[in-house]
Copies of this chain bind each other. A is one copy, B any other.
Amino acid sequence: MVISPSKAAARIRAAAVDAFASAGYGGTTTRDIAARLDMSPAAMYPHYRSKEELLFAISFEGHTEALKVVEGADRPGEEPSVRLQELVSTFASWQAGHHSLARVVQYELTALTPEHYRTVVALRRSTTRVVREVVDAGVQSGDFTIPDAEGVTLALMSLCVDVCRWFPAGNYTNPEDIGKLYGDLALRMVGAA
């Protein structure tokens, strides 16, 4: 079987997510990752030249995917309440459904080089901006009553992101259930009319 370079790279990223999730980024070597795939470190080198490059690839992919999911959930033609509920619900259930990837993406950011960190932070800001625009639209239309748009947006994003830390827990083992709950809580947080 011939494996295409992009398929091989995807397998390496998946093995790295598993390795980072179980031993942490700092506790994993490129050799550990190669060993999970019965690969030599030399065979991995053409795809990723360092552990940090691999982390960046995972982080970039995860953040790009999260941004796409959030952008794809927005319905600019709808009322702010409908938009916010859909955004938060979709993002929260995505975080639940991808919790291993999301943990690596969220908690190992500080291991990136300054340049890679800036690239990833720009993606995060874009995701936050989608939510912030809906919050602002609701304030402007009078549908939302909030103490501070920055703080409320921060709290909404934080609530969604942290799902990857605790999910699953108790009766919340289904990503859709957490999406539904969080969509409702978001409307309460903005004081939706």
Contacts and interface: CB of A to CB of B under 8 A. Distances in A.
B147 A170 contact: no
Copies in the complex: 2
Interface residues of A, number: 39
B181 A24 contact: no
Interface of A: 22-28, 106-108, 110-111, 147-148, 150-152, 154-155, 158-159, 161-163, 165-166, 169-172, 177-178, 181-182, 184-185, 188-189, 191
Given A24-B27, A185-B189, A189-B189, 16 more contacts: A22-B110, A24-B111, A106-B165, A107-B107, A107-B165, A150-B170, A150-B172, A151-B171, A151-B177, A154-B170, A154-B172, A155-B185, A158-B159, A159-B159, A188-B188, A188-B189
In the complex, the 5 A-B pairs of residues with the closest C-beta atoms, listed nearest first = A26-B27, A24-B26, A162-B162, A26-B26, A151-B181
29 contacts: A22-B110, A24-B24, A24-B25, A24-B26, A24-B108, A24-B111, A25-B27, A26-B26, A26-B27, A27-B27, A107-B107, A107-B165, A147-B181, A150-B171, A150-B172, A151-B177, A152-B181, A154-B166, A155-B182, A158-B159, A158-B162, A158-B166, A159-B162, A161-B162, A162-B162, A162-B165, A185-B189, A188-B191, A189-B189
